[in-house]
Structure 1
Amino acid sequence: MSDSLEIPKHIAIIMDGNGRWAQQRHMPRKLGHYRGAARVRSLIEYCTRVGVECVTLFAFSTENWQRPAEEVDALMALFIEYLDKELPAMLENRVRFKAIGALDRFSPEVRDRIRRAEQQSASNDGLFLNVAVNYGGRWDILHAVQSWQAAHPNAALSELSQDVLSEYLSTAGQPELDLLIRTGGESRISNFLIWQAAYAELYFTDILWPDFDEAALQAAFDWFSARDRRFGKVKASI
């Protein structure tokens, strides 16, 4: 990797293609999810090495509850297993963990694992890892507005600005989203970080998530580095 390449401070990943990866190999879909979860650690370690400050992973959307009950149950069990297994590595590598989304729908067991991971990693000063579970971008915006209103019950709506609302989003206090990656061949963001992605670069790849390795991630970084990010401005004429 060249030192001249620009590395995004905050990346988000829609980890798509686990089920198809398994089906292509005549395996149950849940095995694809397990293979995909195993992919996360090495990519988080790579992000830490190259200087990424924040990673947000789309693990379970508000729409995913519509999947077959067996698959949802497998995803919940996988999430618990992931937190139990990965928490020691997070602490060792100074990773700060946060779950973003409407967590009240999860079982007490899942919520307990989330609280423990958040509390034990809260003082870490390394990479910030957000895992989006029961998350939707529209929910995030609505929840932010409701939270602001609860904090300012007597304020007029005209007092609410974009900067203020950003302070009530799930990613408040974190770097602006620079790069959103979606694996698996789809070219949409599926209600993920729709406020935060306003000026993010969108990178879509056909690679299924379990096969998205460090080389594939670096290819996304190389593409990002070559982008001309003007944020609505134009270059001055010579």
Structure 2
Amino acid sequence: MTDETLHVALILDGNGRWARMRGLQRSDGHLQAQTAVKSVVDAALECNVTHLTLFAFSTENWSRSAEEVALLMQPERWLMTPQQVTHYRDHKVHVTFLGDREDIRLPARCTRWIRSVEEETSQLHPRLRLSVAFNYGGRQEITEAIRRAHLTSGGAGSEHAFQEHLWSRGLPDIDLCVRTSGEHRLSNFMLWSMWYAELIFTKTLWPDYRGSDLVQALDEFRQRNRRWGTAPSSAHPANS
């Protein structure tokens, strides 16, 4: 084990294209995705990743068909099954969710499930903190943090004080972000935390992504020179 903090984020993209390429329904692509989630989480544990954040459902995804949204509001079917939740608990993975929980469009059953997963996996010294961005948007997170800061103290005051109002409060800055499916954009994901993240884009569709792909991404990440705005020969500061 290592005491070094390592925060990896993944944009889960390509479920629909995976299904279309096989003549299947979009729902089939989503249902296949849970295999990728479990494989990546297990690899993160083996690689001593301390924080893993998955972009599962964005605030923009509400514009999809009613049928698709209805499935996505059942994350126990496509994100992590009850058996997987138990597996995470037993392997000291603390699962938390980031996003707008007060959105009236969220079914009560879905919010109850989110709370139950957080409670079941809660532990004092987790090996891995798995954060799921669900009903999440980066701009919305920042806008809501500004509103909360002004309501509670009349202003943010400092970066640290402002961060305490983010949905992602308590998480370190993202070190590495991987996006699957060949798209080259952030799509409103963790805009505050990504300020100096290394980016990797892969053509692999999310249902086909596995822990071995994450290991490869980590190998590439560790070969990069993170300059942090300094000259190439300078050492970068420790992650906060």
TM-score of the pair, normalised by structure 2: 0.89
Residue 8 of structure 1 deviates from its aligned partner by 7.1
Mapped to 2, the partners of 1:69 and 1:84 lie a distance apart of 25
Percent identity over paired residues: 38
The answer for the alignment partner of 1:93 in structure 2 is 91
Q: Counterpart in 2 of 1:62?
A: 59
2:114 aligns with: 114
As a proportion of its length, which structure holds more helix? Answer: 1
Distance 2:89 2:215 in 1: 25
Q: Helix, strand or coil for the counterpart of 1:193?
A: coil
Distance 1:163 1:8, change over 3 A: closer
- Structure 1's unaligned 5+ residue stretches are 1-6
1:8·1:221 contact (CA, 8 Å) conserved in 2?
no
Deviation at 1:83, TM superposition (A): 5.0
Q: Is the 8 A contact 1:83 1:117 kept in 2?
A: no
Q: Secondary structure of 1:52's match?
A: coil
Alignment of 1:108-187 (within 5 A): 108-124=108-124, 125-152=126-153, 155=154, 157=155, 160-187=157-184
For normalisation by structure 1, the TM-score amounts to 0.90
Q: Conserved in 1, the CA contact under 8 Å of 2:225 and 2:232? A: no
- Structure-1 separation of matches of 2:222 and 2:190: 21
Residue correspondences, number: 227
What pairs up with 1:194-233 in 2 under 5 angstroms?
194-233=191-230
Q: Which runs of 4+ in 1 moved over 2 A?
A: 80-86
**Partner Cα separation in structure 2 for residue 87 and residue 48 of structure 1:** 15
| Residue number among 50, 54, 72 corresponding to 1:53 in the alignment | 50
SS at match of 1:80: helix
Query: Contact 1:8–1:178 at 8 Å: present in 2 too?
Result: no
Q: Is the Cα–Cα contact under 8 Å of residues 41 and 211 in structure 2 kept in the other structure?
A: no
Partner of 1:72 in structure 2?
A: 69
Q: Aligned-residue CA RMSD in angstroms?
A: 1.8
C-alpha separation between the residues in 2 aligned to 1:214 and 1:48?
A: 10
Of 231, 235, 240, 1:234 maps to 231
Task: Report if the CA contact (8 A) 1:11-1:177 is conserved.
Answer: yes
Consecutive unaligned residues in structure 2, runs of 5 or more: 235-240
- Secondary structure class of the residue paired with 1:199: coil
Structure 1 Cα separation of the partners of residues 24 and 33 of structure 2:
14
